[in-house]
A and B are shown apart, each in its own frame.
Chain A
């Protein structure tokens, strides 16, 4: 079955430290991968995406993600975390099955940045 997994329910990191939010996927064909962020009682905001090309993708608010085909991963990273980065983060894959317009989302990872 095609799926997206976010293995950590919550990630805690100290302000100023690097952060990583993990995502792995299981889809057929070439995946189109996305990261979104959600603040309390708000809609999801697009952060970045991987379609093709460079495996390191840079996005909004200083976030980046690394696509690793051999490990089927698309981890979200930031070199120096801010308290304002605290939110719920979703990984998603589009085109499941290939050629469709559907997205599959992970279950979300709550990031807590401690001052």
Chain B
């Protein structure tokens, strides 16, 4: 069966520090991968999605970047965190070649202080 992992689960970082959140998927190949941010426990904002290694689409111009160095690995980064980067970050995957479901990881709670 497929599993999606995110780490760390929680993170507290000072303003101006770098960020690296990691997401990995097991049990499937060639997945679509997504990064979302959820602010204040409500709506989801799509940040990035990827349909293959090195292929990243950015949805919202911001302080963050994403990379996909391996087929089942998706990384969210920042060189300098802002207070507004605080939130709950969710990674998700879906099957690429059919209209399939999207499966979410457990999330990372980021607090920028």
Contact = CB atoms under 8 A, between A and B. Distances in A.
B103 A46 contact: yes
Main secondary structure, interface of B, reads strand
A25 interface: no
Contacts, number: 55
A45 B104 contact: yes
Question: Per DSSP, are chain A's interface residues mostly helix, strand or loop, or mixed?
Answer: strand
Classify chain B: how many residues form its interface, as a range.
20 to 34
Interface stretch (B11-19, B65-73, B105-113): B105-113
Given A95-B99, A101-B51, A101-B94, A43 B105 contact: yes
B44 interface: yes
A14 interface: no
Interface of A: 32, 34, 36, 40-46, 49, 51, 88, 90, 92, 94-95, 101-108
